[in-house]
């Protein structure tokens, strides 16, 4: 069986991540060298985004999110792929390099583009109304919802930002909430 071919360049943090991605899909991969992202690598990623597109696939942790922010501040037209933390964990080590090929493929297939013309479709009211903020179970609910939407676990403030910046529709949000309700009933 042949591997999925991804036309965009995939940006990861390190060499082990490159190996994991190449084991899962047929694609070109660029490493940021972790937080050591320099101007040369940034120029390479910027050029790739203009020519064939870029999917950012960083670790589901603080440094990974920091790299995403750095790239978003410098480069337009990025797509973001997220692997849930529990699918990228081996012992106490969290990272793309620990994810199974199926988890990598799923994350890449569900990559979301950051929209320039973001609107405030979602507000804090939506989060409170659906128990995604301000309750003892909010963190768990956000994790399940974000996983369902393929946008990566985040704080309430980040969730609101991602819902609007990734152009998630009301319909997608409602379907993800339904999955959340189904998960709570089990």
User: Residues 75, 124: one domain?
Assistant: no
Closest CA to 60 of 154, 162, 168: 154
Q: Are 52 and 68 members of one domain? A: yes
Q: Which of 88, 114, 140 is the last residue of a domain?
A: 114
Which of 68, 99, 114 is the C-terminal boundary of a domain? 114
Same domain, 24 and 47: yes
pLDDT in tens, 125-159: 999 999 999 999 999 999 989 988 989 888 999 99
Count Cβ neighbours within 10 Å for each residue of 71-83 and write b for 16 or more, e otherwise.
beeebeebbbbbb
Report CA 58 to chain centroid distance, whole Å: 8
Q: What is the pTM of this model?
A: 0.80
Q: Do 129 and 84 share a structural domain? A: no
40: its two tokens: 């040369």
**Which is it for strands 4-5 and 25-26: parallel, antiparallel or unpaired?**
parallel
pLDDT in tens, 69-128: 999 989 988 999 999 988 999 988 999 999 999 999 999 999 998 776 666 789 999 999
Residues 151 and 107 occupy one common structural domain: no
Domain count, the chain: 2
Of 91, 114, 137, which residue constitutes the final position of a domain? 114
Cα torsion through 135, 60, 176, 75, rounded to 10: 110
Matching residue, tokens 């989060």: 127
The tens digit of pLDDT for each residue in 33-46 reads 999 899 999 999 99
Tell me the two tokens of residue 84. 């849930």
* 62 three-state secondary structure: helix
Residues 44 and 131 reside in one and the same domain: no
In sequence order, what DSSP letters do the residues of 69-90 get, joined into one string? HHHHHH-SSEEE----GGGSEE
- Are 83 and 37 in contact by the 8 Å Cβ rule? The answer is no
Structural domain that includes position 24:
1-114
């Amino acid at each position: 069986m042949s591997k999925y071919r991804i036309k965009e360049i995939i940006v990861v943090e390190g060499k082990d991540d490159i190996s994991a991605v190449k084991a899962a899909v047929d694609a070109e991969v660029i490493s940021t060298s972790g937080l050591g992202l320099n101007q040369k690598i940034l120029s390479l990623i910027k050029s790739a985004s203009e020519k064939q597109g870029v999917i950012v696939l960083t670790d589901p942790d603080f440094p990974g999110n920091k790299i995403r922010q750095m790239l978003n501040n410098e480069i337009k037209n990025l797509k973001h792929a997220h692997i849930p933390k529990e699918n990228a964990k081996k012992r106490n080590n969290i990272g793309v390099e620990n994810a199974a090929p199926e988890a990598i493929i799923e994350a890449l297939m569900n990559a979301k583009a950051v929209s320039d013309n973001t609107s405030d479709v979602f507000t804090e009211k939506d989060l409170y109304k659906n128990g995604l903020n301000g309750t003892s179970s909010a963190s768990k609910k956000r994790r399940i919802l974000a996983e369902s939407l393929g946008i990566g676990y985040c704080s309430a403030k980040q969730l609101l930002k991602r819902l609007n910046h990734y152009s998630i529709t009301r319909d997608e949000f409602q379907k993800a909430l339904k999955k959340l309700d189904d998960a709570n009933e089990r």
